[in-house]
Structure formats: C-alpha cells, structure tokens
Structure 1
Amino acid sequence: MTSAGGRFDAAVTGIGMVTPAGLGTAASWDRITAADGTAAERVPALAGLRADFGCWMPGFDPEAAVGRRKAWRLDRSSQLALAAAAEALADAGLDPARWDGARVGVVLGSGIGGASAWERQHQVLREHGSEKVSALLIPMLAVNMAAGYIAIETGARGPNFVTATACASGATAIGQARELLRGGRCDVVITGGTEACLIPSIISGFQQMGALSGRRDDPTAASRPFDVDRDGFVPAEGAAVLVLERPESARARGARVRANVSGYGASADAYNATAPEPAGTGAELALRAALDDAGLAPGSVDHVNAHGTSTPLNDLMEARLIRRVFDHRPSVTSVKGVTGHSLGAAGAIEVAVTALTLEKGLVPPTANLTGQDPQIDLDVVAKAARPADVRVAVSNSFGFGGQNAVVLLTRA
C-alpha cells in the first residue's frame, strides 16, 4: 500500500532459501530457530589452509537443482541463485509462462560473483595453457550473471542488475527492488542475494586480514555473535530470493502476503576500508532513513535482525547503535551463529528470516551466545526461540567500504 504519508509497502509473496542451515526455506528456518550451528565440517576446497572450516552445503546437488545441462555452465553462485529463485516463485504461486515479462524485474546482490569459476580456470591456465581455459569463463565469473540467468530462465524482461555493496549487497538489492515497484517500473521483482566463494584465494585473504574465527578445534561454536569470547566470523555460502510485488498486483491475483517491505535506508561510513566507524554514526543514517521512509518512530520497532558478524568491532558498534536508537529495548538476534557469514547473500538471507519472524511470531535465537559481552546492553535472544508479537522489524546489513543498508519490514 501507499499511505497518505507516502509510505510504500512492497508485498513479499514468495521466499526461497538455499543456506547451510537447509536446502529450502522450511529446512533453513527450522535449523535457524533451533540454533543449530552448521560449521561442523572441514570444507574440502579449503584443505591445507589454516582457515579450512566454514558453513557450506555438501548436500546441494546442482544437477538436481537446475538440470544437468545448465549446471556445468554456471558458477556455483548462479546455481544457488537459480535454486532459490525457483522456490520463491513456486512459493508465490507465479508461473513465468503466464506473466508479462516486461513488467518483471530482477535485482540480485553479490559481493564477489563467480569467484570459484575464476580460481578454477586460473589453475587451468597455469597448468595447461590458455587454449584449455573454458570459453564459458566470462559468463561464469561476471558478477551480473546470476541476475541475468534468472531472467533467461523466467523470461523476466524488466530492469535487471546486480548490486555489489560487499556484505550489504543482498539488503541493497531488496531496497532497490522496492524502488522499482514504488516507481511503477515493475509489478513483480525477483530479488535477494547469492554468494559462493569458499575457495582458497578468498578465504586466505580474509584470514590474512584477521577477520575470521580461529576456533578450528570447535567450528560449530566458532560463530558467536555478541558473545564476550567472539573472535571473528565464519565464512559461508548461500542464497535467498524474495518475490516482491506491488500490493495491488498481489491483491488482484489473491496472493498470500508473508510480510511487507515498508522502509529502506542506505549510507556510507566514509571512514575506513574494512573497519566500521566505531560509534556507528554512518550506520545510524541508514537506520533512521529506513524509519523515515516507513513513516515510523523508533519506538514502533519490535525486533532487530542484526548484522551480528561475531567480530569484535562490528558487534560492539552495532550494539551501541541499536541501544542509542531504540531505548525501549526491542528483541535482537543474529542468525550468523547458525548460518555463518555468506557475505553478499547475508542481507537477503536475514531479510527472509525477518519476514518469517513477522509471519510466524517467533524470534530465532542467537546460536553460541553463552556469555554476552557486558559492553553489549541489548535484549539479545539466545538459547531458545522466543514467541513474540512482532509487527515491525528492521534487518541491518553492513559491508566493507563502509556500506550500510537497512530494510524495515512490517507484518502483513
């Protein structure tokens, strides 16, 4: 709906998730609400590295998900995006064969793109020469191709692009998708985020930065947002796709609306390439912009799905921000204790989880939070999921380069 004050509610009519917590939305939600961490095994592709564990999906079968002929032509990041998009469209009850493709857009977030294909073909180049490099390398590695392949698969001929704002990419995509609906450019937008870069070069880079957890002896408990003993994030892969529709389009076809995207804000820290601005002043601009966009006061917010990376700097900055803006102490959670940090896909996964929180009235717990940092004065849900009457929630996403994106959702 568009309210008298100008608020625009984009209807979430479909959700698809392919995450370390589960291959599908229901499986992901169940494991996230059970606070069952997923980083329990070594990642074969990372063998030999000091940081050889992460949250991955050994059960994901690309051929079963997208078909044998497509699977070998796509980087894993595109495979995950197509699988999540297929589930989201089925959940929305939309048949691409019956829609006006010119009114359907695709906006996807990805921080790195087809990195695994790039690394694999670089090895081919080194070992066998340029004549053996795949002719499909460029469409496999280009960051825009996940969105492009979704359009090819579904006949979505409207605006099509990828947002790359580091770990805020998925949230940025959802915010921009809503703008396409609000501006009347589209009736439906397929949006979300995808990332699959559990590969030696990328993980070694994060390791050398000191960003990763060193709990190699206990990987399941390594991602511990807001805990006093947190020591870094656990890398992950995954994808989440939401179907957003103009409210009148959703109503006209009798669609189930799972939640509404009612506000969006973005900003930059303008501070440091990798460290968040300690006071969170840049992030606060995005948070307050999302509230203003929705026409809501801070006291209206019942729940915060935090970026919550399990890094010392981010969690403290975000806690100070949440406490400063929301003095009424809404519930707070971070799903990264279960899913790990899937970089450009993280924001989309967390917006999807926030939509489910609104719909189901259940706040997932923050996994591995056994001793909350005394400097973090928040009502962080831990140990068990909490039933709650959540009508308004925000999902925070922050990325390298000082990129900030906040999505505000309301109950349908």
Structure 2
Amino acid sequence: MLKAAIIGSAWRTPLGSNVGEVVDRLLAGERAAAVNARFDASAYTCQLAAAMTQSVAPSRNARFLRRMGLHAVAVAAEALDSAGIKGSDRVGLFFGYGGLRAHWDDLMPAFERQEAGGANAWNCGLDLLHPFWMLQHLSNNAHAIAAQELGARGEGATYGGANAGAQALGAAIRALAAGAVDVALVVGYDSLIEPETLVELAARGACVAGAASPATPYDINAAGFVPGEAAAALVLQRPGEGECIACVQAQDAADGEKGEALAGTLARLVRAVAQPGDVVDGAGLARPEYDAQERLAAAQVTGDDAALCCIMSAMGQIGAASSVVQTIALAELLRRRMLPPIAGLQRAAGGPLRPLMQAEATTARSAIGLCAGAPGLAGIIRVELA
C-alpha cells in the first residue's frame, strides 16, 4: 500500500498548540471536556465540549473565513515552515473540511423577526447578514486563501465530510506516488461544538447528554462522545527522499448509513491497512455496542493483546481533523516509545485489545488510528517509524 514520509506538522487542539506539550498532556491522561465555552449551551442536550482556547490573529481573511478557517490557514503556514519548505508549482495542497454548514449565529438574528409569507423580509432581518455571507460558507475558502498566501500552486483538492482528513491524506499520498507533486501539504479542520452541529448530534444520540463529566469511550458506562474541534496540518514527501519523522498510510470508506459508519466498514479498513502488532487508536464513539464491535474488528488483525488508546477521549470528537491529528500524535508517541492512557477511563469494558488505564512504555513501531462519523463515513491511518 502507498505511503508518504512526514517532514513537518502543526496543529491547534483543545489541549494546546505545541506538539510536544500536547503529547505530554495526552500521556498525563488530561481530558479537555468542560462546559461549552463557545456559547451558553444550557438549553442544548449536550452541554459539554472540548473547545480550543487559542485566539486567531487579526487578518484581512476574516472577511471570508470564520474562526476555524483562520486556524486552518495558520497551521498550514506553520507546518510548511517547520519542514523548511517554500511554496511552488510542485507543492500540492489537500484540505479536509467538515462540510458546508449554515451557521446559526448568522441565521437566527436574520430570521427571528420574519413575518409569515416573507413580506418586508429585508427590513425584518435579512439586512443583518454580512454582504459576503454566502462566500463565507464556501467549503474551499481556506484552501484557496492558503494556496495564495503560501504559494502552494501544485495539484490538490478540498474534501468534505467526517472522514475528510483521511480522504485528503490518501489523495496527497497518491499524488506524491504518481509524481504529480514533490511535496504535499495536508490540512484538516472541523468543529462539532457549534449550535448547528450540537442539535444534529443530539438528534441521533451520538453525543453525551447533560453537563456532568461523562464516561469515556470503552468504559462500561459510555453513553456518547464529547464534541470537540481542531485544525492540523502535515507536510509529506515521497519516502526515501530525505530525513523524516515517520511514514503514513491512509484510506477512507463510506457505507451509506445515516449515522456513523458501521463497525463492519471499520473492519474492512483495518483488514486493508493494519498489520499484526499495531497499536490501536480507537474511533472513540463511546457507545458500548459500537466500541465492542470496533475492538473485535481491530483485534482480528492486530491481535487480541494490542494496546488500545483513544486520542479522541482526550480531545473530543474532532470530525474532519481526526486523521491528521491522529497522524501527528501517533508519530510523536511512537518516537517517544510511550503510549497514553484513555483519558478518564474508570471501568474498561471487557473484550479484545488492552484499553490503557495509564501511560506505558512501548517497543511498537507502528499504530493505526480509526475514525467514524455520519453519514456512514470512516477513515484509517497507519503511522510507522522510519
């Protein structure tokens, strides 16, 4: 299976922005779940969130990009800088984004005073919409602005959906293998903690209810995940063309489900990518039946005794950013020869794989990271030390 070498990275996560410091916090078992700090969510089913606290620098791009898009452009620039790469016609740019969503904090003021039949619609609130409102919703805004600012003029694409990070990684790896680009910059960003996402997550019972500290994925009392957000970027090149941090493979899949992808879809990805002895970073949906099926699917390839960790337990579910964040975190963890505990895990459910209750040393040189989301989307990455 095709792979690429990782030569640079950057991220913004609910646990911080410095890769080393965030991994320290993962190893310490820290968890970012707290009462939603983005807005008053007391009237929502899910009142918890793993929110980023980093501010964005003032930018002219704020006319076209919201907060997460600005973070995405920033991490793209930082990742290229960390790799010592300058933009050119041979630098490709591949973006993974959660998808087109109408932002309620824009829409609600514009529609709350509207009259039946739409009479006088402009003066009843539509005049409150920003002139660039539709442009601010374009899925490829951040991609276009990053390409212009960084000079990344090579081949590339924007992918949407809960597994868009895996899609973008897979496309970048194929572009490198085909010789279409010499360097690939891959960016994934998403937020699941806004009103428009929280309502949808609650409607299908995906997120935890209430404001009390919830049980974690793979706990016997798990009852839904904590939504989170992140922006992350990787710089890739062909293996063997210089020093690298690690190598990565990626694959995505879809099965048409209205909710999260079936566990069988994850199993298909595991069979295609994983190898015996791989550490497993789970999808962490925190639904006992799904968690159990996921563990069984992974163990059939990695072995029953493979270590099970869960970055999403610490950071919350981060949608399209998942595979890019997992790649960065697992590469650093393998390099340190340490694995993190499942943050907050109290009573691990029985089954194959070893859910980690505390940080432990490892001799493993490879790990897989799984992600799953609606509608019926799944992804996998495999990171291996070079």
Q: TM-score, normalization: structure 2?
A: 0.90
Pick from 55, 74, 78 the counterpart of residue 65 of structure 2. 74
1:41 & 1:125 partners in 2: Cα distance? 27
Q: Is the 8 A contact 1:235 1:340 kept in 2?
A: yes
CA distance in structure 2 between the aligned counterparts of 1:125 and 1:135, rounded to whole angstroms: 13
Paired position in structure 2 for 1:4: none
Q: Which residue of 1 aligns with 2:342?
A: 366
Residue 250 of structure 2 aligns to a residue in which SS? strand
Q: Please state if 1:400 is matched with 2:359.
A: no
1:49/1:204 contact within 8 Å kept? no
Contact 2:261 2:377 in 1 (8 A): no
Judged with a 3 Å threshold, the aligned counterparts in structure 2 of structure 1 residues 354 and 236 are, in CA distance, closer, same or farther, namely same
- Asked if structure 2 preserves the Cα contact closer than 8 Å seen for 1:77 and 1:114, the reply is no
| SS in structure 2 at match of 1:79 | helix
Equivalence for 1:382? 357
Q: Pairwise CA RMSD of aligned residues?
A: 2.1
User: Is residue 325 from structure 1 mapped to residue 301 from structure 2 by the alignment?
Assistant: yes
What does 1:331-346 align with in structure 2 at a 5 Å threshold?
331-346=307-322
The code of the aligned residue for 2:378 comes to: N
Instruction: Give the distance between the partners of 1:217 and 1:165, measured in 2 at CA.
Output: 29
Equivalent in 229, 236, 254 of residue 268 of structure 1: 254
1:232 corresponds to: 224
- Offset at residue 223 of structure 1 (A): 5.5
How many residues are matched? Answer: 374
Instruction: Give the Cα separation in 2 of the matches to 1:233 and 1:27.
Output: 24
Which is richer in helix? 1
Deviations 1:53-102 (CA, angstroms, capped at 9, x unpaired): 201023x1112xxx433345411221121222122122212233xxxx21
1:125 aligns with 2:117: no
Residue 284 (structure 1) aligns with: 267
Output aligned runs, 1:42-121, within 5 Å: 42-50=36-44, 51-58=46-53, 60-63=54-57, 67-96=58-87, 101-113=88-100, 115=102, 118-121=103-106
Unaligned residue ranges in structure 1 (runs of 5+):
1-6, 292-297
Aligned to 1:200: 195
Paired residues of 2:270 and 2:297 also in contact (CA < 8 A): no
| C-alpha distance in 1 between matches for 2:201 and 2:354 | 30
Unaligned runs of 5+ in 2: 114-123
2:118 paired residue number: none
Residue of structure 2 in register with 1:295 after alignment: none
Question: Offset at 1:108?
Answer: 1.6
Q: Specify the code of the residue in structure 1 equivalent to 2:184.
A: V
Give the superposition deviation at 1:19: 0.4
Contact 2:12 2:71 in 1 (8 A): yes
Aligned mates of 1:95, 1:276 — CA distance in 2 = 38
Residue aligned with 1:309, SS: coil
Percent identity between matched residues is 26
| 8 Å CA contact retained: 1:232, 1:310 | yes
1:382 maps to a residue whose letter is M
Q: Post-superposition shift, 1:130?
A: 3.0
Q: CA contact under 8 A between 2:206 and 2:285: conserved in structure 1?
A: no
Q: Please give the alpha-carbon distance, in whole angstroms, between the structure 2 residues aligned to 1:228 and 1:204.
A: 26
Counterpart mapping for 1:17-56 below 5 A: 17-50=11-44, 51-56=46-51
- Contact residue 97 and residue 159 of structure 2 kept, 8 A: yes
Aligned 8 A contact 1:71 1:79 in 2: yes
Distance 2:284 2:92 in 1: 30
The secondary structure found in structure 2 opposite 1:365 is coil
2:63–2:132 contact (8 Å) kept in structure 1: no
Match of 1:3 in 2: none
1:328 shift after superposition: 5.1
Q: Matches of 1:334 and 1:327 in 2, distance apart?
A: 17
Cα deviation, residue 9, structure 1: 3.5
Q: Distance in 2 between matches of 1:197 and 1:247?
A: 34
Q: Distance in 2 between matches of 1:103 and 1:223?
A: 47
Q: Secondary structure at the match of 1:396?
A: strand
Question: 1:303–1:332: 8 Å Cα contact kept in structure 2?
Answer: yes
Per the alignment, in what secondary structure is the counterpart of residue 22 of structure 1? coil
Structure 2 Cα separation of the partners of residues 345 and 189 of structure 1: 17
Structure 1 window deviating more from structure 2 (82-91 vs 127-136): it is: 127-136
SS in structure 1 of the partner of residue 244 of structure 2: coil
Q: Which residue of 1 aligns with 2:116?
A: none
